[in-house]
Amino acid sequence: MSATATPAQVRQALIDGREIALLDAREEGPYSRAHPLFAVSMPLSRLELTILDLVPRRSAPVVVYDDGEGDDGEGLAERAATRLRALGYGDVAVLAGGLSGWIAAGGEVYRDVNVPSKAFGELVEHHRRTPSLAAEAVKALIESDKDVVVLDARRFEEYRTMAIPGGVSVPGAELVYRIFDIAPSPATTVIVNCAGRTRSIIGTQSLVNAGIPNPVAALRNGTIGWTLAGLALETGQERRFPPVSPEGRARAQAAARSVAERAGAGRVDRATLAAWRADEERTLYLFDVRTPEEYEAGHLPGFRHAAGGQLVQATDEYVGVRGARIVLADDDGVRADMTASWLAQMGWDVHVLDGGVGADGLEAGPRARALPPFPDGPVNEVEPLDLLGPLDAGEAVVVDLAPSPKHAAGHVPGAWFAVRAELGEALKRLPDGVRPVLTSPCGVLARYAAADLTALAGVTPALLKGGTTGWRKAGLPLESGLPRALSEPDDVYKRPYEGTDNTAAAMQGYIDWELELVAQLERDGTHRFRVL
């Protein structure tokens, strides 16, 4: 049995600003319905795929929990703690009573995902009265003869899915960097939008904090508000921000540096950074906050890509240890400074690298995902074409451990969907006499799960070589939908602000929830947020 940490101990660590990683071992569906403010979604099913990035220092204090209603010796939290210790994490405890214990102790719980960032955005609007306009008012501006630009602060992929008519993709950290070229006239009205509220608020307030002379406002409630007003969105658009001029860059640098200094963001030189990287007593995160294209063209070794706007919007997807140290880099300081200004207000110990990325010693291409070694033990990899006969004869069946949306988008014909953490029970539901063959999108998760299957069934597991990607590359067809499920497809939370198929009730419910977050923060007391 693992050591335990009480809710009071976890809460005090958060209040004190000490390092702590509070990890939720449940699937994302249950996590999205109730969790503490700074709990990070770390499903047992996918633990190996994310743990080294989210908790890079193996001596960092880790507390893991589940719903607290199962057998403590067999629950998700205990299993996750055991797996973490096997991966070399030395300070691992299970939250006493799990989520139920947290609630019983008076701890505040939140629904949805990326809650610290969203709650902080609401706090910013509450304190700064960030200007906003309703969808109808923005539509009237667009249709008038007035000088107006609509800037979409989301990722480009989200913008392409749905956008305000005439809007231009300018992801959050690019706003101050490029605004002086996008809207050189101070008479131009600037509207910032996202899908809901947070990135609209933070983007608009970034421009306000930077002191741009233009009228600026957020599109109230983003594309959700636009849709609920009965207005049509564009899809498949390609409009992107323009290049930065020398004059625009100089103005942006001065503005961003001033904001970062007022927020209390630090600066670090390369010598000090080298010492921090060698420090085994403090967790360190290194992020390059430029665009994906710039990052892949050349980045500093050890720096992960995290576009600045997304790092502020979804900090918990990048940083798992509250109280850790963060260093940001870009090429000329603007995006790093603006991102740092927000992270500092969110209570992070954040610093901007002096001199930025530079030109020497860079690595090109995407960063390889950090993964622990595969478990020891034999495995039997089956080539896709060699699996056709056993499948046709009913001697084998594919068990797909992909996230349920990926499974539904395309899987091996006849495959069964299963959640890895429930693999033992899932295998019992298979037809008698068939051999399970594990797969996952690229085969990596299935390889980790092979050890689970060995422990459960006492047999050498069979794996589809190359995963479902390997099957597709072999020229074999895929099946869509979710016709066969060994587990409930509650592993992924469907965001009501992404995609174009959400119901009006879901979208309105999401907006109503965001508006309640300031009151929750007041009750919570662990956040350490402050607003300029």
Residues spanned by the domain of 219: 119-243
**For residue 487, is it within any domain?**
no
Amino acid at 306: A
Please provide residue 80's backbone torsions phi and psi, each rounded to the nearest 5 degrees: -65, -40
How far, in Å, CA of 180 to CA of 200, rounded?
19
How far is Cα of residue 264 from the mean position of the Cα atoms in its chain? 25
User: 168 forms bridges with which residues in the sheet?
Assistant: 151
Task: Read off φ and ψ for residue 175, nearest 5 degrees.
Answer: -60, -60
Helix segments in 279-429, DSSP class H: 292-297, 308-313, 334-345, 384-392, 404-409, 423-428
**Alpha-carbon span 312 to 171, nearest angstrom:** 11
Q: Are residues 333 and 299 in the same domain?
A: yes
Would 441 be classed as within a structural domain? yes
Q: Are residues 272 and 235 in the same domain?
A: no
Whether residues 279 and 235 fall in one domain? no
In sign, the C-alpha dihedral spanning 108, 112, 113, 114 is: negative
Q: Is the distance from CB of 444 to CB of 467 less than 8 angstroms?
A: yes
33 three-state secondary structure = helix
419 with 326, same domain: the answer is: no
Give the pLDDT confidence score for residue 500 in this predicted structure: 72
Rounded-to-10 torsion of CA 270, 275, 279, 285:
0
User: How far, CA to CA in Å, does 210 sit from each of 168, 175, 214?
Assistant: 20, 10, 11
**Final residue of a structural domain among 316, 334, 353:** 353
Domain boundary residue, one of 113, 130, 153: 113
Question: What pLDDT shows up at residue 139?
Answer: 97
Residue whose token pair is 């001033």: 258
Q: How far apart are CA 237 and CA 288, in angstroms?
A: 26
Distance (Å, rounded) from C-alpha 449 to C-alpha 283? 28
Tens of each residue's pLDDT in the chain, 532 residues: 789 999 999 999 999 999 999 999 999 999 999 999 999 999 999 999 999 999 999 999 999 999 987 644 469 999 999 999 999 999 999 999 999 999 999 999 999 999 999 999 999 999 999 999 999 999 999 999 889 999 999 999 999 999 999 999 999 999 999 999 999 999 999 999 999 999 999 999 999 999 999 999 999 999 999 999 999 999 999 999 999 999 999 999 999 999 999 999 999 999 999 999 999 999 999 999 999 999 999 999 999 999 999 999 999 999 999 999 999 999 999 999 999 999 999 999 999 999 999 888 999 999 989 999 998 888 899 999 999 999 999 999 999 999 999 999 999 999 999 999 999 899 889 988 899 999 999 999 999 999 888 887 777 789 999 999 999 999 999 999 999 999 999 999 988 877 777 788 888 988 988 999 999 999 999 999 999 9
The whole-angstrom separation of Cα 418 and Cα 438 is: 10
- CATH number where 407 lies: 3.40.250.10
Q: Which residues of 365-390 are buried (b: 16+ CB within 10 A; e: fewer)?
A: eebeeeeeeebeeebebbebeebeeb
pLDDT, residue 432, reads 86
Residue 390 belongs to a domain: yes
Q: Is residue 163 part of a domain?
A: yes
Provide the domain count of the chain.
4
Q: How far apart are CA 350 and CA 344, in angstroms?
A: 6
Q: Indicate whether 364 belongs to any domain.
A: no
Cα within 13 Å of Cα(350), Cβ side: 27
For residue 525, being part of any structural domain is answered with no
Answer whether 16's CB lies under 8 Å from 70's CB. no
C-alpha to C-alpha distance for 465 and 463, rounded to whole angstroms: 6
Q: Assess if residue 360 is contained within a domain.
A: no
What's the first-to-final CA gap in the chain, in angstroms? 45
Structural element, H or E, at residue 208: helix 198-209
Which of helix, strand or coil describes residue 142? helix
Contact between residue 13 and residue 333 where contact means Cβ atoms under 8 Å apart = no
What does the buried/exposed string (b/e) look like for 199-236 if buried means 16 or more CB atoms within 10 Å of the residue's CB? bbbbbbbbbbbbebebbbbbbbbbbbbbbeeeeeeeee
Give yes or no: residues 347 and 424 share one domain.
no
Decide: pTM greater than 0.85: yes
Q: Given this model, what pLDDT does residue 74 score?
A: 61
3-state secondary structure labels for all residues of 236-286: CCCCECCCCCHHHHHHHHHHHHHHHHHHCCEEECHHHHHHHHHCCCCCEEE
| Alpha carbons 45 and 124: distance in angstroms, whole number | 35
> Of the candidates 473, 497, 516, which is a domain's last residue?
473
Do 123 and 237 fall into the same domain? yes
How far is 387 from 81, CA to CA, in rounded Å?
36
How far apart CA 179 and CA 182 sit, in angstroms, is 5
Q: Are residues 137 and 188 in the same domain?
A: yes
Check the CA dihedral 71-74-76-81 and report its sign.
Answer: positive
Residue 73: per-residue pLDDT: 47
Residues 43 and 132 in one domain: no
* Residue type for position 92: V
Same domain for 78 and 148, yes or no, is no
Structure-token match 């950090």, residue found: 370
Distance (Å, rounded) from C-alpha 135 to C-alpha 146? 16
Do 235 and 307 belong together in one domain?
Answer: no
Tell whether 235 and 185 lie within a shared domain.
yes
Looking at the DSSP assignment, which residues form a beta bridge with residue 163?
234
**Judgement on whether residues 135 and 107 belong to the same structural domain of the protein:** no
Domain annotation covers residue 175? yes
